[in-house]
Amino acid sequence: MPFCEDCAKYWAPSAMGSDGSCPSCGRHLDGPVIASTTPRPRVTADDLDLKKLAGQQGDDPSAPWHFKLLVTGVVVYVGWRIVNLFV
The whole model's pTM is what?
Answer: 0.35
Burial class (CB in 10 A: 0-12, 13-18, 19+), 29: buried
Phi/psi for 84 (5° steps) reads: -65, -25
Task: Please name which of 60, 9, 14 lies closest in space to residue 35, comparing C-alpha atoms.
Answer: 14
pLDDT in tens, 63-77: 899 999 999 999 999
More confident residue, 25 or 49: 25
* Residue 41 · residue 68 · CB < 8 Å: no
Is 33 within 8 Å of 15 (Cβ atoms)? no
